Structures are given as structure tokens and as C-alpha cells.
Amino acid sequence: HIVKRMGDGMMATFGEPATAVRATLAAMEAVDTVEVEGYTPRMRAGVHTGRPQRIGGDWLGVDVNIAARVMDRAAHGGLIVSQATLGRITPDQWEPLGVTAEKVRRQVFTPRQSGVPADLIMYRLSRRVEIPGENVAGSTGSEGPGDRA
């Protein structure tokens, strides 16, 4: 459900974390096919799972702020998800997504962002690269939902 559009961005809600990630990946792939006079726009996205407050047609609260901060960490063309999101994607939902997760390092010299828990953990999702003849699941060294402590 699209909650609102903000300039060139938007906020949407989903019933399940895996659905949110799947939809975001599909949107990113669609944007990658756009070219205008030699320019291909880049999309960045952040996904966080929580319990925001619904007021009228809008959603507010700490979890909305966290989602915005998660998106802020994404580079152009990147997708960042919170630990809360990744932890709610089951292994059987994870495999078809075709992605790997790499923990995002904390920014040492950046001040802590207001309204974001100090223990917020984020992951960068990347498309899994398959090498012909190799068992990709055991060879990436990247994490999936069942591999985190």
C-alpha cells in the first residue's frame, strides 16, 4: 500500500517483510531498465519492520523514522534492510529472493542519528551472483536469515 509520495520518493507499507523486499527488488529492477537521453536513474531503498501508528491515511512513529534512517544508509542503486526485517524472513522465503546480506558497518565518525536506537543493525542486500558449476549457497560467505547470531 503506497502511503504517500514525497518528491521523488515514497513510503509504502506491506503485510510481510519478504513481500516488502521482493517488491522493492522488483521496483529497483524496473528502474534499471529506464533510460532518458542516455541517463539511467538510480533508486535507493530501505526496509524496516515495526509497529508504526496509523493516523488517518498516514503512518507515524519511531519505526517510520527508523525506516527513513535505514534508507538514508543505502547508496544509489542499493537496498538496506534492518535486522528487524531480515530476522522475520524465513529461510524458505529468503532463497527465492536471490540475494545475499552483508552487515553494514557502523559509521564511526558520524554522530548518532536522532530517534534511532543505538543498537540498530542494518544489512546491505545484493543480488546473488551465480557461478556456473559452483554451489552458490555454500560459497558466498554472505549471510542469510538463518546465519546471523
pLDDT band at 134 (very low <50, low <70, confident <90, very high): low
Q: According to DSSP H, which parts of the chain are helical?
A: 17-32, 62-72, 83-86, 91-97, 136-139
Task: List, for residues 13-69, the tens digit of each pLDDT value.
Answer: 899 999 999 999 999 999 999 999 999 888 999 999 999 889 888 888 889 999 988
Task: List, for residues 36-51, the tens digit of each pLDDT value.
Answer: 999 988 899 999 999 9
The string of DSSP letters for 50-83 reads: --PEEETTEEESHHHHHHHHHHHTPPTT-EEEEH
In DSSP terms, 102 is beta-bridged to 124
Tell me the pTM. 0.79
pLDDT band at 142 (very low <50, low <70, confident <90, very high): very low
Do β-strands 79-82 and 122-127 pair in parallel, antiparallel, or remain unpaired?
antiparallel
Task: List, for residues 92-129, the tens digit of each pLDDT value.
Answer: 999 999 999 999 987 666 666 666 788 899 999 998 87
- CA atoms within 13 Å, Cβ hemisphere of 50: 23
* DSSP H/E element including 84: helix 83-86
